[in-house]
């Protein structure tokens, strides 16, 4: 009797459990009216600052898409993962976003090493991966070597080789020199940039007379500045992207090195970072990705809306983060489907005018560089204000050499 | 060029010495490997920033109040948390590491992740021929050295200082002789935090301030403390200057990429020859 009762109770519980499982599964499958995108960015650690800006830009883009009606009837829902600029954390996050959060694709990527690792997850799981900030050329190489496997990866950020080409106008058009010195971090992407810059420069008869590689967190640059003084180049190209950048800028001015310098990327392109340096940034130049100039009809509007939202425009994380998410949305709309293979095909033939410029992807899924596509802006700083000195069609000033005392 | 390197190395060494002495003091007296050292280095910079930018106060007055606030934070932390598990060295290391990580996030949440500029306490520079010395660096070096000598004077001449030295040398006997070891621990931890934070607040106007800035100074401080002798303030001063010179000479004559390697290799070599460091265990 007792055993029969237990059996009935057990059977009832099993059936109840089965019904609940079916009900809940049905709810998850049928009630989804959002397009979930995983945002993989560093929000803590040394890269928290650019990661946060990237996230803000991506959020702004998602809000804009949703206000315009969403993507094929679905609103975008962002699921954010803090990868701390670490590969192991990024991989854990990517797997969790797919298995637990059921995201459709990924957006983000700051350090090249992290983005490379997620490319494999994207390939295995057939999930779109839109890289919005990593610049290492290894990403391009990986797609080139095995297109069928890595075709789900795209990049809204220019690769390091294009960053390097951005340095050329400074040498040829602004300063007009045949000798330069290269200051970099000892990181993967700046090594790529340095190699690419050297290749482009050599093809134009411009010589690199010296290089130094510093730790991204380095603070003391007396020796490096003395090396520059000894080498006596016509210009310096600097790719110290993180906290080392402002420290170097300050000491460069204090040392009264009267050699033009341009910063390729990083926080030295940010308005408030350079303004905080005050007169210690005078006459130094930075490459910018976004400025209050009409690069495209959409640029100024984005600049004005992003600034109050985050109060810090200027880096590539902002504009390319925004454009990256918009490209995903446009790709799905063009495909007319959420089928990732169809979206890949759509993106490969897309022509999209973003806030940074016109996006057309190469066969290696990199944004095309050059006139009519994505071009650099060079800004020179004087008394806390940045003046556009290149390209000439958008310039509001000319280059000025530091007066010698 | 070599002269510029040596001058800059000397100025850097003064800051390094101040930075490491707080760690040395806590290690020497309380036998605690304090992994929150970098956190308080960072906090010193942020508190100074808040005083200067938030209240528009004179930077030197801001620094004075920063020191007071840091002492109170350090003493309170010792009373609230440290004293409860300081008899287990492993637990103490884990605890201070956890506090350091949590503290960095607290800073990020409170002040934001953005890089901050703290205006220099003094502008301008001194030029002697080809040699240049920014006034802020000169000030930072000499304030650092002044604070260290003040600390040494306090430890040698004052009643509390003598009590601290007794606790460091013979803790059990100190307690038996009526010295309030609990109170001494609070004072020592507070002083250690002050030294770390003062170094951070002198350092920040020369470079840039961000939440994760304390980890490299923590590593360098450990290396200097081991080099100079654990618990030795004199050793920390000598080690700080040696480290300053080693850093700049390495980046000048070898490679900038070896800056974090060669000084530590130097440390290993010194330890092989003299395992207790230059000055062994005495804090004075």
Q: CATH number, domain at A203? A: 3.40.50.2300
Q: Which of A94-108, A145-159, B225-239 shows the lowest per-residue confidence on average (mean pLDDT)?
A: B225-239
Domain assignment present for residue B252? The answer is no
Tokens, residue A136: 């290492």
Span A86-99, pLDDT tens digits: 999 999 999 999 99
Domain assignment present for residue B282? The answer is no
Contact B221, B151 (CB under 8 A): no
Min Cα distance B185 → chain A (Å) is 32
Q: Is B216 on the interface with A (CB under 8 A)?
A: yes
Are A191 and A272 within one domain?
yes
List all residues of chain B from 171 to 200 with a beta carbon under 8 Å from chain A: none
Q: How many structural domains are present in chain B?
A: 1
Q: Is the predicted ipTM greater than 0.90, yes or no?
A: no
Specify the pairing of strand A358-359 against strand A352-353: antiparallel
Domain of residue A258 covers: 161-292+376-394
Are A71 and A100 within one domain?
yes
Give per-10-residue mean pLDDT for chain B (284 aa). Answer: 88 91 88 91 94 85 93 92 76 90 92 84 85 90 91 89 83 79 89 94 89 90 85 86 88 82 76 72 50
Of A336, A183, A190, give the one whose Cα is nearest residue A248. Answer: A183
Min Cα distance B70 → chain A (Å) is 23
Min Cα distance B224 → chain A (Å) is 17
In this predicted structure, the answer to whether residue A112 has a pLDDT above a threshold of 50 is yes
Domain assignment present for residue B277? The answer is no
Q: Is A48 on the interface with B (CB under 8 A)?
A: yes
CB pairs under 8 A between A and B: 96
pLDDT of residue B87: 67
In this predicted structure, the answer to whether residue A27 has a pLDDT above a threshold of 50 is no
Are A250 and A382 within one domain?
yes
Q: How many structural domains are present in chain A?
A: 2
Of A134, A194, A177, give the one whose Cα is nearest residue A158. Answer: A134
pLDDT of residue A14: 61
Q: Do A45 and B216 touch (CB under 8 A)?
A: no
Q: Is A255 on the interface with B (CB under 8 A)?
A: yes
In this predicted structure, the answer to whether residue A313 has a pLDDT above a threshold of 60 is no
B122 by Cβ neighbours in 10 Å (0-12 / 13-18 / 19+) ranks as: middle
Min Cα distance B124 → chain A (Å) is 9
Helix (H) / strand (E) containing A288 = strand A285-288
Q: Average pLDDT for residues A167-188, to the nearest whole number?
A: 92
Tokens, residue B270: 């010194």
Is A175 or A5 the better-scoring residue by pLDDT?
A175
Contact B194, B243 (CB under 8 A): no
Query: How many Å apart are CA A258 and CA A167, to the nearest integer?
Result: 19
B79 by Cβ neighbours in 10 Å (0-12 / 13-18 / 19+) ranks as: middle
Domain assignment present for residue A16? The answer is no
Q: Is A328 on the interface with B (CB under 8 A)?
A: no
pTM to 2 decimals? Answer: 0.76
Residues of A in contact with B104 (CB under 8 A): 44
Which of B108, B117, B256 is the closest to A223 by Cβ? B256
User: Closest chain A residue to B253 measured between Cα atoms?
Assistant: A223
For testing contact with chain A, the best of B7, B114, B210, B216 (most A CBs within 10 A): B114
Binned at pLDDT 50, 70 and 90, residue A257 comes out as confident
Q: Do B212 and A46 touch (CB under 8 A)?
A: yes
For testing contact with chain A, the best of B38, B115, B129, B262 (most A CBs within 10 A): B115
Domain assignment present for residue A21? The answer is no
Domain assignment present for residue A367? The answer is no
Domain of residue B203 covers: 13-212
Question: Residue A275's Cα: distance from chain center in Å?
Answer: 23
Query: How many Å apart are CA A367 and CA A374, to the nearest integer?
Result: 8
Binned at pLDDT 50, 70 and 90, residue A21 comes out as very low
pLDDT of residue A29: 27
């Amino acid at each position: 009797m007792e055993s029969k009762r237990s059996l009935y109770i057990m059977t009832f519980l099993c059936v109840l459990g089965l019904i609940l499982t079916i009900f809940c599964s049905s709810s998850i499958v049928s009630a989804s009216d959002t397009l979930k995108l995983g945002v993989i960015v560093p929000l803590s650690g040394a890269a928290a600052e650019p990661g946060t800006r990237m996230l803000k830009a991506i959020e702004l883009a998602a809000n804009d898409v949703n206000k315009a009606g969403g993507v094929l009837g679905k609103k975008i829902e962002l699921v954010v993962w803090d990868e701390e600029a670490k590969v192991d954390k990024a991989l854990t996050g990517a797997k969790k976003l797919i298995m637990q959060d059921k995201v459709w694709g990924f957006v983000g990527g700051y350090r090249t090493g992290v983005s490379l690792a997620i490319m494999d997850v994207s390939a295995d799981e057939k999930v779109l991966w839109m890289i919005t900030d990593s610049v290492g050329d290894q990403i391009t190489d990986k797609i080139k070597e095995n297109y069928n496997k890595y075709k789900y990866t795209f990049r809204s950020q220019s690769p390091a080789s294009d960053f390097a080409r951005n340095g050329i106008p400074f040498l040829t058009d602004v300063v007009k020199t045949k000798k330069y010195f290269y200051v970099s971090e000892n990181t993967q992407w700046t090594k790529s940039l340095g190699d690419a810059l050297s290749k482009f420069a050599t093809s134009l008869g411009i010589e690199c007379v010296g290089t130094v590689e510093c730790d991204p967190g380095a603070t003391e640059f007396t020796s490096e500045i003395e090396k520059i003084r000894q080498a006596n180049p016509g210009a310096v190209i600097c790719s110290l992207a993180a906290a080392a950048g402002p420290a170097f800028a300050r000491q460069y001015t204090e040392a009264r090195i009267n050699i033009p310098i341009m910063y390729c990327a990083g926080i030295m392109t940010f308005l408030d970072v350079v303004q905080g340096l005050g007169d210690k940034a005078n006459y130094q130049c930075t490459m910018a990705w976004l400025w209050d100039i009409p690069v495209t009809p959409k640029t100024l509007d984005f600049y004005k809306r992003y600034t109050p939202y985050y109060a810090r425009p200027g880096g590539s994380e902002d504009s390319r983060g925004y454009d990256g998410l918009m490209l995903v949305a446009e790709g799905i709309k063009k495909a007319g489907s959420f089928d990732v293979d169809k979206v890949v095909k759509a993106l490969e033939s897309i022509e999209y005018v973003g806030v940074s410029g016109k996006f057309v992807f190469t066969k290696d899924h990199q944004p095309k560089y050059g006139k009519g596509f994505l071009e650099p802006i060079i800004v020179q700083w004087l008394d806390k204000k940045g003046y556009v000195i290149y390209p000439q069609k958008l310039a509001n000033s000319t280059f000025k050499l530091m007066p010698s005392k | 060029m070599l002269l510029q390197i040596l001058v800059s190395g000397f100025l850097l060494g003064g800051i390094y010495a101040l930075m490491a002495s707080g760690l040395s003091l806590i290690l020497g007296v309380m036998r605690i490997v304090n992994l929150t050292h970098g956190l308080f280095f960072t906090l010193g910079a942020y508190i100074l920033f808040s005083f200067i930018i938030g209240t528009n106060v004179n930077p030197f007055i801001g620094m004075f109040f920063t020191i007071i606030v840091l002492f109170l934070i350090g003493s309170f932390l010792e009373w609230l948390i440290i004293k409860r598990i300081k008899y287990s060295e492993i637990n103490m290391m884990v605890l201070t590491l956890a506090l350091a990580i949590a503290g960095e996030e607290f800073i990020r949440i409170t002040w934001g992740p953005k890089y901050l500029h703290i205006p220099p306490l003094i502008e301008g520079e001194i030029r002697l021929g080809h040699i240049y010395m920014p006034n802020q660096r000169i000030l930072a070096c000499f304030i650092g050295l002044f604070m260290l000598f003040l600390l040494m004077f306090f430890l040698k001449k004052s009643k509390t200082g003598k009590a601290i030295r007794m606790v460091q040398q013979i803790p059990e006997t100190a307690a038996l002789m009526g010295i309030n070891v609990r109170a001494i621990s609070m004072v020592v931890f507070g002083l250690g935090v002050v030294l770390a934070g003062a170094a951070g607040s002198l350092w920040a106007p020369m470079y840039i301030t961000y939440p994760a800035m304390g980890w490299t100074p923590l590593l360098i401080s450990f290396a200097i403390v081991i080099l100079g002798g654990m618990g030795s303030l004199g050793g920390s001063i000598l080690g700080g200057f040696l480290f300053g010179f080693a850093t700049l000479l390495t980046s000048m004559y070898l490679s900038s990429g070896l800056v974090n390697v060669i000084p530590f290799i130097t440390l290993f070599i010194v330890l092989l020859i003299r395992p207790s460091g230059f000055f062994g265990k005495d804090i004075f």
